Amino acid sequence: MAIAKGDKLPDVKVMLGTPDGPQEAQTGAMFAGKKTALFALPGAFTPTCSAQHLPGFVENAETLAAKGVDQIVCMSVNDAFVMDAWAKDQNAHGKVVMMADGNGDFTKALGLELDASGFGMGARAQRFSMIVDDGIVAELNVEQGGAYEVSSADYMVRQL
């Protein structure tokens, strides 16, 4: 069953892709006491994710902060090294926290998995965004099919 508005995020160990190398984190601590714009996508360096999804949040980082967002978190079922390399490629460090859910544990706990094995990508996260307030899901936007609309930074800016 998928997570829903009003639910508490699961507390799962993840890795962060940082300029200083991979860093372990617990999602419970990451989201505690903060308003977070969290978005997930099928994979780093993939077409829509690189051309629109991550760049939209990088470009809107100041706007989201002005609307009360303490942190922006990008999550993908990739490893921390890939997430760091992608952040460098997209100039995202310092604006977006790059969360690597390498084993898909957080994605599974959210109930938002995507079977991308037809594309040779295995189990991934669905494309979604959520506003998380102190660990509680305040808004949840899950894309249908191959769409890219409700998980965008522009859509989230309008929700705040």
Q: Which residue has the tokens 């999602």?
A: 27
What CATH superfamily classification does 13-159 receive?
A: Glutaredoxin (3.40.30.10)
The catalytic site residues sit at 49
User: What confidence tier does 35 reach under pLDDT thresholds 50, 70, 90?
Assistant: very high
Break the chain into its structural domains and give their ranges. Answer: 13-159
Q: 59-100 pLDDT, tens per residue? A: 999 999 999 999 999 999 999 999 999 999 999 999 999 999
d(CA 143, CA 149) in angstroms, rounded, equals 7
pTM for the complete prediction? 0.95
Helix (H, G, I), strand (E, B) or coil at 108: helix
Contact 50, 57 (CB under 8 A): no
How far is it, in rounded angstroms, from Cα 79 to Cα 9? 21
What is the pairing mode between strands 97-100 and 113-115?
A: unpaired
pLDDT for the residue numbered 62: 98
